[in-house]
Amino acid sequence: MGATKAEEFTLRDNRIARYAKALGHPARVAILRLLAERQACMCGDIVEELPIAQSTVSQHLGELKAAGLIQGEIDGPRVCYCINEKEWTSALTVLNEFFKLPKEIAAKCC
Amino acid sequence: MGATKAEEFTLRDNRIARYAKALGHPARVAILRLLAERQACMCGDIVEELPIAQSTVSQHLGELKAAGLIQGEIDGPRVCYCINEKEWTSALTVLNEFFKLPKEIAAKCC
DNA sequence: CAGCAAAATCGTAATAATACGATATTATCT
DNA sequence: AGATAATATCGTATTATTACGATTTTGCTG
């Protein structure tokens, strides 16, 4: 993302940014949607559903895993991915809390 | 963000990604938090609060404005920024709806 | 063990994001 | 008009992201 000064911000804000960044690309949103919408968790079927190459899908999966939002489990010759419910809930909570901030404020100036 | 294929994904997923991307940097989260937490909307005071240069703050403000999350109004020699309540609510709704997807699913496989 | 299929990793090119200093704008005040 | 103060914009260096093809790894199957 270019030079960054992430360390100089609060842990809380970095946490929010980390989750948000993981959702910051339509391919990753689409992947998460697929994982959420299908009963079973997906593996390489994602590649067939999305307009990007296998290696790129794998890269996006890696980022989602790094953010903690999904987890993968080896299932025979393939890998079965699914949403990490715990982190997912955590992300929802953190983002919701953040988004509700202005609701508590009456005054508006512009 | 490097080469991108955003056009090939759904509008819905692009919309979510757009909001999420705006929140994808701790500086922008911090800026939004400042705008939300203070009664009045901020201007250059943000520069004093954050560990980044004035031009960088201005750049982040521009991105938040492009995403629709904030709006600025000229107020004398300064610019008064505040959260765009409408878009903010819209972002909350869209993200919430997305995050609640897996809750409707009983089966888990890993 | 050889062969196969799925996924990860590597190498790399193209592009976007981050950050800063310097400069230009803009609006106010004297 | 000129000076001042606040923002925006420009130019640019650095670093991150995205994407793909090629290759490697991994685990199963004959």
Whether domain A11-92 has CATH 3.40.50.10680: no
Whether domain B10-96 has CATH 1.10.10.10: yes
- Asked if residue A107 has pLDDT above 50, the reply is no
d(CA A18, CA A67): 7
H helices of A23-104, where? 26-37, 45-49, 54-66, 85-99
Half-sphere exposure of A51 (CA within 13 A, CB side): 8
pLDDT higher for A17 or A36? A17
The CA–C1' separation of A1 and C25, in angstroms, is 29
Report how far Cα B43 is from the mean position of its chain's Cα atoms.
17
Strand C contact nucleotides, protein CB < 7 Å: 4-11, 13-22, 26-29
Q: What is the pLDDT of residues B36-58, one digit of tens each?
A: 988 667 778 999 999 999 999 99
CB contacts of A88 in chain B (<8 Å) are 99, 102
Give SS3 for B4: coil
pLDDT band at B68 (very low <50, low <70, confident <90, very high): very high
Closest C-alpha among B109, B1, B91, B101 to residue A30: B101
Residue nearest to nucleotide D4 (CA to C1'): B77
Residue nearest to nucleotide D28 (CA to C1'): A77
The domain spans of chain A are 11-92
What average pLDDT does range A51-72 have in this prediction? 96
What average pLDDT does range A86-92 have in this prediction? 94
CB contacts of B50 in chain A (<8 Å) are 9
d(CA B35, CA B32): 5
CB contacts of B4 in chain A (<8 Å) are 25
pLDDT band at A24 (very low <50, low <70, confident <90, very high): very high
How high is the mean pLDDT of chain A? 89
